[in-house]
């Protein structure tokens, strides 16, 4: 097996691949403090972001110099090491040995099961790949969006567009003609997001979204000296791998697509367009689904039968808030895609105008960039139209939710007023009953007073003022006096009649006054006393 002699700087960098990104050749371009922070973050995220080596699932597509496409899957770090051409043996030497030249175009797909699952590769293998191809440390920020510990896509709002351009004065350690690398290249790191319907989920599953936003991390570099390309993707469900297969199918010979810098540059722009188109698919149907769902929610909240608005529930407000959050998430995602499309436009337009861009290929590359940006502008326009459409939907949802909140407040106030009215009427009834009881107590008092005159008269007659005794003062001789009885009745009966008359007259007067007072209040507040009767 033939070996390739490599510069010491690259060999030492690759030998220390487990220290990535502290081991990259262009350390000065990033600064040691930033590289140290990325390295520490990489170590911290390893348990969540990566898997064990025996579960590796990396798809490879190499477009060789003869135009053939070599596709394979790698399932361990050992297989990745052999595929790169690293023939060194563990412990044999600190200097690694390369045995084959880079292909004209290389694609690496990290095939994820979902946007929240870890990358299907070990931290060791990722560090090896990124060191071998000297991938910018900025790409780790995009990979860090995966491997959510709680299976919640909290990094969906992350968006960035990072570039590195080295068209002149390459680092000596980056000049690797044996591998097909001139050291003069540019790198792009960005992410795109698409939305897809979950075909496996049934419509009958309540509370589960039938749509899922998928994001992919994209790294691209092109050597302007040799025309060689390298692509690396974090690819949920293999969606981008299928798109790349459309550009490089198995059967045709693809030599003409990569036989010169201008041809390779044109092919890279074609791939970029495929990626951008992928990010624009599904949004129209998804927004239509949101519009239909919001229409149903609004119908339940506001446009229902007015008689039913007295039964509004706070659960409906929570559902409305959840849909509003979903719409806002859609807006952020669409805006991030549109921003990255515009960044691609700006990057390529300025790239071909740079002084250090190869003059022999400048004119043809400028023409390809014009075609690329013309198509890209159409996609950006479509994305912005979808953004405006979604923002309008968000405004409608927010306005209707505010109206619902106001109706809910009115309903709560009405219920509070109704409860207060019922309480007031009940207290009035209780007061009336208490008044009647007081009247009854007065009657009892009057009846008690009935016995007061006889008692008084009896007491008076029992004194020495009036005596009815025998002529001889014989107390043992019983004697009945009609005159005494007559005098007793003459005094007692008028007093009793007078007492009863006054007592019952008073009770009758108080009852009439109470009825008149109640009638006036019922006439003045018919709603209150009507609720109390209900």
Which CATH number characterizes residue 78's domain? Answer: 3.30.460.20
User: Is 60's pLDDT higher than 90?
Assistant: yes
Give per-residue pLDDT as tens, 90-136. Answer: 444 445 567 888 999 999 999 888 878 889 999 999 999 999 999 99
217 shares its domain with 336? no
Query: Which of 292-301, 378-387, 415-424, 522-531: highest mean pLDDT?
Result: 378-387
Residues 171 and 117 in one domain: yes
Band of residue 198 on the pLDDT scale cut at 50, 70, 90 = confident
Q: Is position 505 within any domain?
A: no
- Asked if residue 346 has pLDDT above 70, the reply is yes
- Contact between 352 and 265 (Cβ < 8 Å): no
pLDDT of residue 477: 52
How far is 385 from 462, CA to CA, in rounded Å?
Answer: 114
Q: Say if 485 falls within a structural domain.
A: no
Question: Mapping DSSP to helix (H, G, I), strand (E, B) and coil, where does residue 176 land?
Answer: strand
Residues 47 and 179 in one domain: yes
Report the alpha-carbon distance of residue 499 to residue 145 in Å, rounded: 98
Q: What angle do CA 365, 131, 35 make, to 5 degrees?
A: 100
Residue 468 lies in a domain: no
265 pLDDT more than 90: yes
Q: In a 10 Å sphere around its CB, with 0-12 CB exposed, 13-18 middle and 19+ buried, how is residue 427 labelled?
A: exposed
Same domain for 274 and 306?
no
Which residues fall within 8 angstroms of residue 266, CB to CB, at 6 or more apart? 257, 365, 368
Considering 436, 460, 489, which residue would you say is the last residue of a domain? 436
Instruction: Answer whether residue 372 is part of any domain.
Output: yes
Provide, for the chain, the percentages of residues in helix, strand and coil under a 3-state DSSP scheme, each rounded to the nearest 5: 60, 10, 30
User: Looking at the structure, do residues 288 and 379 belong to the same domain, yes or no?
Assistant: yes
Q: Which two tokens stand for residue 194?
A: 């698409």
Domains held by the chain: number = 2
Confidence of residue 476 (pLDDT cuts 50, 70, 90): low
Tokens 């040995």 -> residue: 97
The confidence band for 392, taking pLDDT boundaries of 50, 70 and 90, is very high
* 110 and 141, same domain (yes or no): yes
The pLDDT confidence band at residue 396, using thresholds 50, 70 and 90, is: confident
Per-residue model confidence (pLDDT) at position 96: 56
Q: Coil, strand or helix: which one is 62?
A: strand
39-53, 196-210, 486-500 — which is least confidently predicted? 196-210
Read off the pLDDT band of 203 (50, 70, 90).
very low
Does residue 530 form part of some domain? Answer: no
Residue 163 maps to a domain: yes
Q: Strand pairing partners for 196?
A: 212
List the one residue out of 219, 186, 245, 240 whose CA is nearest residue 365. 186
Classify residue 67 as left (phi > 0), alpha (psi -120 to 50) or beta. Answer: left
| pLDDT of 201 higher than 60 | no
Residue 128 in domain: yes
- Cβ proximity of 221 and 165 under 8 Å: no
Q: What does pLDDT average to over the chain?
A: 82
Residue-level pLDDT at 183: 92
Rounded distance between C-alpha atoms, residue 331 and residue 323, angstroms: 13
Strands 229-236 and 105-112: parallel
- The reply to whether 254 and 291 lie within a common domain is no
Q: Are 6 and 25 spatial neighbours (Cβ–Cβ below 8 Å)?
A: no
For the chain, what percent of residues have pLDDT higher than 90?
Answer: 42
- Considering the domain architecture, whether residues 193 and 293 belong to the same structural domain is answered as no
Which structural domain range is residue 151 located in?
A: 1-197+210-260+270-279
Query: In which band, very low, low, confident or very high, does the pLDDT at 200 lie, cut at 50, 70 and 90?
Result: very low
| More confident site: 510 or 312 | 510
Q: Which of 436, 456, 486 is the last residue of a domain?
A: 436
Taking a C-beta distance cutoff of 8 angstroms, is the pair 231, 219 a contact? Answer: yes
pLDDT at 2: 63
pLDDT value for 438: 76
- 305 with 346, same domain: the answer is yes
For 468, residues 6+ apart whose C-beta sits below 8 A from its C-beta are: 479, 481, 483, 484
Give yes or no: residues 292 and 316 share one domain: yes
Q: How far apart are CA 269 and CA 370, in angstroms?
A: 11
Give the residues across from 220 on adjacent strands.
188, 231
First to last CA, the chain: 99
Residues in CB range of 291: below 8 A, 6 or more apart? 393
Q: Are residues 397 and 340 in the same domain?
A: yes
Instruction: Provide the pLDDT confidence category of residue 38 given band limits of 50, 70 and 90.
Output: very high
Q: Residue 95: inside a domain, yes or no?
A: yes
Closest CA to 231 of 61, 400, 466, 419: 61
218 and 108 in one domain? yes
End position of a domain, from candidates 227, 245, 279: 279
């Amino acid at each position: 097996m033939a070996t390739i002699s490599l510069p010491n700087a690259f060999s030492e960098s690759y030998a220390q691949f487990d220290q990535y990104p502290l081991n990259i050749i262009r350390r000065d371009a990033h600064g040691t403090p930033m590289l140290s922070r990325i390295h520490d973050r990489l170590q911290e995220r390893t348990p969540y972001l990566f898997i064990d080596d025996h579960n590796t699932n990396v798809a490879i597509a190499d477009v060789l110099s003869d135009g053939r496409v070599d596709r394979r899957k790698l399932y361990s770090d050992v297989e990745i090491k052999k595929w790169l051409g690293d023939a060194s043996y563990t412990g044999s030497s600190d200097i690694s040995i390369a045995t084959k030249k880079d292909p004209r175009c290389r694609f690496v797909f990290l095939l994820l099961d979902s946007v929240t699952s870890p990358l299907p590769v070990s931290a060791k293998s990722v560090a090896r790949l990124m060191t071998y191809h000297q991938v910018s440390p900025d790409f780790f920020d995009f990979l860090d969006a995966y491997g959510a510990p709680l299976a919640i896509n909290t990094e969906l709002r992350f968006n960035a567009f990072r570039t590195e351009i080295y068209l002149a004065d390459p680092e000596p350690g980056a000049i690797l003609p044996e591998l097909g690398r001139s050291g003069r290249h540019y790198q792009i790191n960005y992410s795109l997001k698409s939305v897809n319907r979950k075909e496996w989920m049934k419509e009958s599953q309540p509370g589960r979204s039938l749509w899922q936003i998928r994001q992919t991390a994209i790294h691209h570099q092109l050597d302007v000296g040799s025309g060689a390309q390298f692509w690396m993707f974090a690819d949920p469900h293999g969606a981008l791998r299928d798109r790349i297969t459309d550009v490089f199918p198995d059967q045709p010979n693809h030599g003409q697509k990569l036989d010169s810098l201008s041809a390779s540059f044109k092919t890279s722009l074609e791939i970029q367009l495929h990626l951008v188109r992928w990010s624009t698919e599904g949004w129209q149907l998804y927004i239509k689904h949101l519009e239909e769902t919001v229409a149903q929610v609004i119908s339940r909240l506001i446009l229902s039968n007015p008689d039913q608005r007295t039964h509004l529930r706070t659960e409906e407000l929570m559902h409305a808030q959840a849909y509003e959050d979903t719409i806002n998430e859609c807006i952020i995602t669409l805006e991030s895609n549109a921003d990255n499309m515009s960044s691609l436009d700006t990057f390529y337009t300025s790239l071909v105008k740079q002084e250090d861009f190869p003059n022999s290929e400048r004119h043809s590359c400028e023409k390809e960039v014009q075609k690329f940006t013309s198509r890209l502008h159409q996609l950006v326009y479509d994305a912005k139209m979808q953004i405006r459409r979604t923002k309008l939907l968000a405004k409608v949802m927010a306005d209707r939710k505010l109206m619902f909140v106001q109706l809910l407040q009115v309903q709560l106030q009405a219920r509070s007023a109704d409860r207060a009215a019922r309480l007031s009427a009940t207290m009035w009834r209780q007061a009336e009953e208490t008044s009647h009881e007081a009247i009854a107590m007065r009657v009892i008092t009057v009846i008690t007073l009935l016995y007061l005159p006889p008692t008084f008269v009896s007491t008076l007659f029992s004194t020495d003022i009036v005596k009815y005794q025998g002529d001889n003062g014989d107390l043992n001789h019983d004697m009945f006096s009609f005159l005494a009885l007559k005098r007793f009745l003459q005094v007692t009966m008028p007093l009793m009649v007078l007492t009863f008359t006054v007592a019952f007259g008073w009770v009758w007067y108080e009852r009439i006054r109470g009825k008149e007072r109640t009638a006036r209040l019922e006439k003045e507040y018919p709603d209150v006393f009507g609720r109390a009767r209900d």
